[in-house]
Amino acid sequence: MVELDDVDLALLALLSEDGRATFSDLASRVNLSVAATKRRVDRLRAQQVITGFTATIDQTALGWSVEAFTEVRYVGTSQPEEMMQAMTEIPEVEAVYTIAGDPDMLVKVRARDHSHLQQVINHLRRGGKATGTKTMIVLGSWHR
């Protein structure tokens, strides 16, 4: 585990809010020089506390209005890594989680509409490894 002080935590919070904030903006918010702020961010990146900077995309603006989670159960002899790899090859899959208990896997998917979602679920079921699925459509969400 990496040791972080209050300034590191403040920088992480600020970058979580705005990954495009300049070092000058960050420095003024944490009361450090620009050079010291850059060194801290560089250190956090080197320690892999910060693993990247991404844009948050409104998928509904791109026509992907249906978000769902599908529970997947698969044949007991299937390897989790093999199933995860198969799921990641489906373009509509946003995330795959292997989990303890029942079901074996939770898959987050995006689709254009309900008909498209049905096609995606059918794709998840193909291949003979999945023994069952249960899909829950997201009605609303909140993200930290």
Question: What range does the domain containing 121 cover?
Answer: 59-137
Residue 101's pLDDT band (cuts 50, 70, 90): confident
Q: What is the pLDDT of residue 39?
A: 98
**pTM of model > 0.85:** no
Give how far the C-alpha of residue 13 lies from the chain's centroid of Cα atoms, to the nearest Å. Answer: 18
Q: How many domains does the chain have?
A: 2
Listed range (61-70, 77-86, 114-123) with the worst mean pLDDT: 77-86
CATH of the domain at 128: 3.30.70.920
If asked whether residues 97 and 133 sit together in one domain, one would say: yes
If asked whether residues 23 and 63 sit together in one domain, one would say: no
Q: What is the pLDDT of residue 84?
A: 86
Does 99 map to a domain? yes
Residue 143's pLDDT band (cuts 50, 70, 90): confident
If asked whether residues 96 and 29 sit together in one domain, one would say: no
